[in-house]
Amino acid sequence: GQQLNQSPQSMFIQEGEDVSMNCTSSSIFNTWLWYKQDPGEGPVLLIALYKAGELTSNGRLTAQFGITRKDSFLNISASIPSDVGIYFCAGRPISGNTGKLIFGQGTTLQVKP
């Protein structure tokens, strides 16, 4: 099936540092979403992007929908300990109208106080 390549797989950073992660696909998506998952919980939507080139912020988080529609990145500025978790990108293929999302493999973020 369709795959998203998400990188890096994991990050271990110092509190206060900025973080960047990205997702690429071989096919075009019409929506990119970024989710965060805490241990034992379901993923929670952080940012949604709906058109190529769109840049959207949510507090310290900023995400962009790549102009080729095949990639997206998420930046977290001035990281804090509660940013720890697994971050997933997800894309919605342009074909069909099912709402089905394809997820990346996740980026595990650890923040050292």
Partner 1 sequence: DSGVTQTPKHLITATGQRVTLRCSPRSGDLSVYWYQQSLDQGLQFLIQYYNGEERAKGNILERFSAQQFPDLHSELNLSSLELGDSALYFCASSASPGRRFGYTFGSGTRLTVV
Residues that bind partner 1 (CB under 8 A): 1, 30-31, 33, 35, 40-45, 48, 50, 88, 90, 92, 96-106
* Pick 77 or 105: Cβ nearer partner 1: 105
66-89 CB burial, b ≥16 within 10 A, e <16 = beebbbbbbebeebeeebebbbbb
* Closer CB to partner 1, 18 or 98, in the complex: 98
Judged by beta carbon, residue 41 or residue 82, the one nearer partner 1 is 41
User: What is the rounded CA–CA span in Å between residue 87 and residue 105?
Assistant: 9
- Tell the smallest beta-carbon distance from residue 56 to partner 1 (Å): 13
Contact by Cβ (8 Å): 58, 110: no
Whichever of 100 and 112 has its CB closer to partner 1, that residue is 100
Query: 3-class DSSP state for residue 41?
Result: coil
Cβ count near 91 (within 10 Å): 27
Closest CA to 107 of 3, 5, 1: 5
